[in-house]
Structure 1
Amino acid sequence: MKLLSLILIGFVAVEHVFILVLEMFLWKTELGMKVFQLTPETAEITAKLAKNQGLYNGFLAAGLFWALFFIKDQSQKFQTILFFLVCVVVAGIYGSATAKFSILFSQGLPAFLALVVHWLANHKR
């Protein structure tokens, strides 16, 4: 169960690095416009906003990687991972309600699954 937890948390972190790259560096490219269903005009107008969004996604990934690889105290590691996964779940719910419903499944669901497995694997009963 702990290995599955680490894999799911790692997946969520890597996914948010990918989102960072898409939003900060690939927003106005063919791939970025296809992923986010943008016209070239809309991509141009919203590029600065996307870079800001990408940075926040990077902070989520950084927090998860920091907890996974650098926090040694198990209680602090558990709580930090819990915090960042809850942040991703909330962002997924908010994004699905305000931007695109599929965000609930592409970002929110993996984080929620990682959260549940992380809790089950590490919570002291």
Structure 2
Amino acid sequence: MQLLAQIVTGLVALIHVYIVLLETVLFQSRGRRVFGLTQEKADIVQPAMSNQGCYNGFLVAALVVGFVHPNPAIASAFTVFGLACVAVAGVWGGVTVKRSILLIQTLPALIALALHFAG
């Protein structure tokens, strides 16, 4: 069960690496299309999206620390914190931006949390 939890947590981290890239370095190309923005709207929101991408990077960092920290209790705390933050951010995004965020972000994080606690 623990291995499955780590695999799903790794997938959550990879999803967020992709989100970071979409919101920062790929925003004017791929990111703009993924978020369904016109060029004019993308130009307006680009600074905010870049800032949001930075925050998503922090979520990735927490999950990575959960994988690499030598103390199992600390590693677990980082993993739970990171996944909980991803889930909460996903709920907020699903309510305020686009419902599909619940499936893309929240659901995988909740599955990973459930597997983590089951393991």
Query: If the TM-score is normalised by the length of the shorter chain, which range does it land in?
Result: over 0.9
The alignment's C-alpha RMSD in Å is 0.8
Task: Please list, as runs of the form range in 1=range in 2, the aligned pairs for 1:15-94 lying within 5 A after superposition.
Answer: 15-29=15-29, 31-69=30-68, 71-94=69-92
CA–CA separation in structure 2 for the residues paired with 1:27 and 1:74 = 36
Q: Which runs of 4+ in 1 moved over 6 A?
A: none
TM-score with structure 2 length normalisation? 0.96
User: In percent, how many aligned pairs have the same letter?
Assistant: 43
TM-score with structure 1 length normalisation? 0.92
- Compute the displacement of 1:115 (Å): 0.6
CA–CA separation in structure 2 for the residues paired with 1:26 and 1:77 = 31
- Compute the displacement of 1:73 (Å): 1.4
The gaps in structure 2 that reach 5 residues or longer are none
Which secondary structure does the structure 2 equivalent of 1:38 belong to?
coil
- Compute the displacement of 1:79 (Å): 1.7
More helix by share: 2
CA–CA separation in structure 2 for the residues paired with 1:84 and 1:33 = 26
The gaps in structure 1 that reach 5 residues or longer are none
CA–CA separation in structure 2 for the residues paired with 1:97 and 1:23 = 19
- Compute the displacement of 1:2 (Å): 1.1
